[in-house]
Amino acid sequence: MMVVRPIRADDYPALYDIAVESGHGFTSLPVNDELLMRKISRSEQSFAKHVQQPGDEGYLFVLEDTETKEVCGTSALEAAVGLEDAFYHYHLGKVVHSSRSLGVYKTVDILTLCNDYTAVSELCTLFLRETKRQKNNGRLLSKMRFLFLAEFPQRFSDRVIAEMRGVSNTDGSSPFWQWLQEHFFSVDFPTADYLTGIGQKVFIAELMPKYPIYVSLLSKQAQAAIGQVHEHTKPALALLQSEGFASRGYVDIFDAGPTVEARVEHIRSVQNSLRLQVVIGQVTTDTTYLICSTCITDFRATCCELEVDIPNQQATISAAVATALNVTSGDWVRVTGI
């Protein structure tokens, strides 16, 4: 059975392998021993912390095959971004150049550096190993975070974002960054991406253009990359869009990938989730749900067949599922559609 749980210190070797496999452009998992161990430690502290309002917490989950004990992927939630380090985006906007006397009216697209998403929550670090991209594994790893948001709302902002990986080549180069590098930086895309991943962001403030960038001045390749996602990211974007996430014109400062956002209360899986009491018994339906436990320190989530009894606020699950979730009869769980 595939189960999502909080990361532990002994998951480090698997996390390192995932960081290597994820490749260029996956900023949140830099291939750096100290930083990865720090992420694990921070996550363990966040799960153990008593929280009344979101702060500098980060919750890192792993997908584990309970039969083989193999860690197959990761996903994470940041409680409030930009509180310790500045959180940069470009916002795609417009300016109008007009002259009534000359009969000229022209609308021009511009990119403006901003910190507009400071203190919002973030979905991040979603990566499923290629050999495990089957059945409902990807949906479980991504959507279980909505159950976590619904169950522990005091730990998060009322607005949540997700940065989508933008266009990059197999050698790690980004058409958008290549233009910025040529005109403002002497740092290639993999290096800039890595420095951001390990928290060294001061070069952004020092070297980024301080004024809006006219999109028409960019190379044709850079213009075409704005708001586009990496080929491997398209399924993740489609899933978020089906949940109600939408782009508001914000893009990543390195690869120009889109950032999508939603209010937590408007996310479909949050709206449709139910908090039910466990009944352990025989399950006769073939309807599959996402289900999670409601204990923060021993959180577990999986997808399985179960029976929902809304009038009695009960969910009937098998003994195997109860064991995987570490729940017993009478405990509370949260469920939503897969």
Residues with catalytic roles: 230
Of the candidates 84, 92, 4, the residue with the CA atom closest to the CA atom of residue 42: 84
Is 291 strand, coil or helix?
strand
Q: Which helix (H) or strand (E) holds 19?
A: helix 12-22
Q: Tell me if 181 sits within 8 A of 172, measured CB to CB.
A: no
- Distance CA(173)–CA(60), nearest Å, equals 28
Tokens standing for residue 72: 């197959």
Q: Going by C-beta distance under 8 Å and a sequence separation of 6 or more, which residues neighbour residue 58?
A: 39, 42, 43, 46, 76, 77, 78, 79
Tokens standing for residue 17: 């392998």
Of the candidates 311, 270, 319, the residue with the CA atom closest to the CA atom of residue 153: 270
Is 11 strand, coil or helix?
helix
- Distance CA(245)–CA(239), nearest Å, equals 9
Q: What is the largest CA-CA distance in the chain?
A: 80
- Distance CA(335)–CA(18), nearest Å, equals 28
